[in-house]
Amino acid sequence: MKKYLGIAALCILLILPGFRSQAQTFKFGHINSDELLQALPEFDTAQAKLEKFRKELLNAIEMMSVEFNNKSDQYQKESKNYSDIVKQTKEQELVDMQRRIQETQTNAQTQFQDKQNQLFQPIYQKVDKAIKDVGKENGFTYVFDVSKGSLLYFDETKSTNLLPLAKAKLGIKK
């Protein structure tokens, strides 16, 4: 019996260090991905292209609105001189024009969102990949994005700011 107890004790002593070495130590990091995005030169370029596109869309809608207002004013001034058939025709033209303006506004919103996705999606993917690569290369278990607002607290002394590493990975000097 003593022999079995001695063997069991020896096994326990041999197994316990193995369990301790398997205990995980977590390495935490944090980053402000918005700050990283805005540091990229591509971000400013995409922002400028999007603003130019927005202005083009607004100009097109503005031109349509000016034309509508001119025709509406003309109709208001001359409507008493029109026959009933001409009045109905002019009113229908104004209604159709108003509908086209509304459709153009709706289409412009969709086009703007599509353009925004087209311009910024590659940048978001680039930043996401850089953050994941830096996390993996430096052995981080978790990386939290402090710009998303879901992280309520973190101890900066126990978490590494990955922003400088990610900027270096992307070749950003700022």
Q: What is the pLDDT of residues 51-96, one digit of tens each?
A: 999 999 999 999 999 999 999 999 999 889 999 999 999 999 999 9
7 contacts 15 by C-beta, under 8 angstroms: no
32 vs 74: CA distance, rounded Å:
56
- 75 neighbors 91 (Cβ within 8 angstroms): yes
* Residues present in the chain in total: 174
Across-strand partners of 143?
29
Task: Note the pTM of the prediction, 2 decimals.
Answer: 0.72
Q: What confidence tens digit (pLDDT) does each residue in 105-158 have?
A: 999 999 999 999 999 999 999 999 999 999 889 988 888 888 887 665 667 777
